[in-house]
Amino acid sequence: MQQSRQQKKRQKLQADLHVGEEVYTVGGLIGTVVSVDNNKLTLKLSDNVVVPVLRSAIGGKYQRP
C-alpha cells in the first residue's frame, strides 16, 4: 500500500518537471533541467556538461543543504 503511494508521488513529480528545476537521478547525478520532451529531459550537470536522461530516471527534486 505504501509502495503504491510512493510510486504515485514519484510519477507525479516526474510528470510535473519544469525547466530550471534542480533534480537528482536514481543514479545519484544532480543537475538542472534545461529542456523537457515527452519521455526525455536534458540536464545540465556543470558548465559544458549536458546529458539526456529518461524522465523515469528522476528520483526527486534536489534541495541544497
Cell of 17: 518537471
Cell 536522461 locates to: 53
pLDDT band at 15 (very low <50, low <70, confident <90, very high): confident
Domain that holds residue 11: 2-61
46 vs 1, residue with greater confidence: 46
pTM: 0.84
Report how far residue 64's alpha carbon sits from residue 24's, in angstroms, rounded to the nearest whole number. 11
Residue 24 clears pLDDT 80, i.e. is over it: yes
Are 40 and 56 spatial neighbours (Cβ–Cβ below 8 Å)? no
Structural domain count, the chain: 1
Cα atoms in the 13 Å half-sphere on the side-chain side of 57: 16
Question: What tens digit of pLDDT does each residue of 26-61 get?
Answer: 999 999 999 999 899 999 999 999 999 999 999 999
Residue 28's pLDDT is what? 95
